[in-house]
Amino acid sequence: KNSYSLRAVHPDHQFLEKTIINEGRYINDLDLHRKLKVAVIGRLVKKDLFGEKPALGKRININGILYKVVGVFSDEGGDNEERIVYMPVTTAQRLYGNREYIDQINIGYNPKLSLSEAVLFGNRMEKELRSKLDIHPDDQSALSIHNLAEANQGINQFMLVLYFIVIFVGSGTLIAGIIGISNIMIFVIKERTKEFGIRKALGAQPASIIGMVIQESISITALSGYIGLSIGTYILSAIGDNLEEFFIKDPSVSPGIVIIATIILILSGLIAGYLPAKKAAQIKPIIALRAD
């Protein structure tokens, strides 16, 4: 059997969690005022309890008390967030005897505040609350503030470090690839020395030979790059559904990335093929024709 979380909330909680109502409605002020026994259930709760049947208006048993389902919601936060049942906070206080008890208060920031400003605001609010309520600065049991802005700030710093690591590793791989393709082209030119000599003897200009070698280099680079891109795209599509629990909703390769990758591959092909192409253009016909 699956387990579910029961949360007693205020109507504005919907906007803090960015809950998406699929059917019915959320907890409202009338529910709060009348302390009604109503519930808003998550998508997976509805699936487990009712399957494909409608859930609105039906009753669910919570700790021996029947609640009327008035809404079904979904949440992008993952499966755990969709195994939650919401009820009015006043109803919970009336039924469970804790008439003034509140587990937590959620506060949203002004969207215009930056992360650093939001962190400072949270710290200032905590300091003022502790001073007003005469709570010791180290007493976390009486007052504990969890500032999501601090968590987001840490995540952003981690992502920035990860971004530079990816660039460093990617650049190293790209340089190794350029060197490898350049060595391949040098070997190819050595094997085709006679061919280039004949072309020059027949009047081929150095620029045309350079262009031909660079074109081949770009073709090899692009082919290798697109094979890697295709493999990466396939892997992302194969494991994409398993990444939702890590809040990665759409692991895919966007058209913009493909365009940037194409430009990088072309430039890499130019760099890898330039020196071998220049060497091919400098081959003297008389020496080339004598080569075995």
pLDDT tens across 29-88, in order?
Answer: 999 999 999 999 999 999 999 998 999 999 999 988 999 999 999 988 778 889 999 999
Which of 100, 45, 99 lies closest to 67, judged by CA?
Answer: 45
For 69, the 3-state DSSP assignment is strand
Residue 121's contacts (CB-CB under 8 Å, 6 or more residues apart) are: 109, 113
Q: Report the amino acid identity of residue 211.
A: G
pLDDT at 245: 58
pLDDT at 201: 84
Per-residue 3-state assignment (H helix, E strand, C coil) for 145-191: CCCHHHHHHHHHHHHHHHHHHHHHHHHHHHHHHHHHHHHHHHHHHHH
Ranges assigned E (strand) in the chain: 5-9, 20-24, 38-42, 59-62, 65-74, 84-88
pLDDT at 242: 67
pLDDT at 195: 86
292, HSE (Cβ side, Cα atoms, 13 Å): 0
Domain ranges of the chain: 5-95, 115-146, 158-290
pLDDT at 158: 87
Q: What is the pTM of this model?
A: 0.56
Residue 54's contacts (CB-CB under 8 Å, 6 or more residues apart) are: 23
pLDDT at 247: 56
Please provide the average confidence, as pLDDT, over all residues in the chain: 86
pLDDT at 243: 63
pLDDT at 42: 94
State which H helix or E strand residue 15 sits in: helix 13-17
pLDDT at 233: 82
Which of 182, 171, 168, 249 lies closest to 216, judged by CA?
Answer: 182
Residues in the chain predicted with pLDDT less than 70, given as ranges, are 1, 98-99, 240-252, 291-292
pLDDT at 244: 61
